[in-house]
Amino acid sequence: MRLTTIRITPDRTTAARIDKKHFTPLPHPDVGALIASGTDWARRAAAHAGERLPLPSATTEMPPLTPGRVVRAGPNYPTRLKELDRQRPAAPSLSVVRPHTVAGARTTVPLPAASSQGMGWGVELGVAVSRRAHHVPAAEALRHVAGYVVVTHLYALGDPAKQDGPDGPRPLLLLGPDLVTPDHLPIGGRGLTLTATLDGRPVQKASTSDLHFDVATLLARASDLTPLEPGDLITTGTPGGTLAHPLGPGRNLHLAIKGLGDIDCLVTDA
């Protein structure tokens, strides 16, 4: 099942199920509210048979959900660790962040005034939490996954040593285009190809099977770090390739994960 949030009027939004060539609006203002509406939210969303709306050509101006908290994984791909000249960690490096702004998958981003060196970025697999999770063992963690989404953190470049750490800059979060439920993807979101191009040139390519710490491990460890609530998001880390390619004005960024969709971002002057 593919879920998104669409704008019905200038001041009204709704969660919606994507059914081939149309939307089916759901009785919740966004996908986050749907997930938080009860443990049987997925069954209700799949069974809902209400009004149908035509699928417009541009459907991703809004993020499917706006997470209250984001648990961000540090370096989690071999190519990223090599790029940062770090050893493989024995345990996931996790930090809780609250992005200033959350935007959808088709967006224009002004370069912050403080970003004289440009902005850092990287394609990531995002994991939305379906129900409260606290001290969940890894063997049960995937039961707490609502779905998967394409994510990138955009942040002003500063001290390179802090780019992937808990003391790094608070990011702008882009996510979308849809939230895809686990029944439409491989178990644990494994085997999905991530790609990123900058101004049409390939910069990143990897598979989620390359993750040092998989989705179940990250969710379990995140639930030890903080109680997770429905609609919270875990980001799983980005592959290497981006440090030599900061975002600046006029740059066009395209991020994709097979089976989930893509994000397009244009950076402009502040």
Note the pLDDT tens digit of each residue in 239-259: 999 988 998 889 999 999 999
Enumerate residues 6+ apart whose C-beta is below 8 A from 51: 24, 25
**C-beta separation of 189 from 127 below 8 A:** yes
Domain boundaries of the chain, sorted by first residue: 2-54, 70-268
Dump pLDDT digits (tens) for 38-74.
999 999 999 999 888 887 644 457 899 999 899 999 9
User: What pLDDT score does 155 carry?
Assistant: 85
Enumerate residues 6+ apart whose C-beta is below 8 A from 159: none
Separation of alpha carbons 23 and 12, rounded Å: 16
Higher-scoring residue by pLDDT: 84, 111: 84
No. of helices (H) and no. of strands (E), the chain: 5, 17
Across 89-104, average pLDDT: 88
* Strand (E) or helix (H) holding 28: none
Q: What angle do CA 217, 144, 163 make, to 5 degrees?
A: 50
Across 21-30, average pLDDT: 91
**Distances 193 to 161, 196, 201 between C-alpha atoms, Å:** 27, 10, 17
pLDDT value at 130 more than 60: yes
Enumerate residues 6+ apart whose C-beta is below 8 A from 161: none
CATH code, 70-268: 3.90.850.10
Higher-scoring residue by pLDDT: 111, 137: 137
User: What pLDDT score does 188 carry?
Assistant: 96
- Cα dihedral 152, 154, 158, 162 sign: negative
**C-beta separation of 245 from 156 below 8 A:** no
Amino acid code (one letter) for 207? S
User: What pLDDT score does 11 carry?
Assistant: 84
Q: Give the closest residue to 177 by CA, choosing from 103, 122, 108.
A: 103
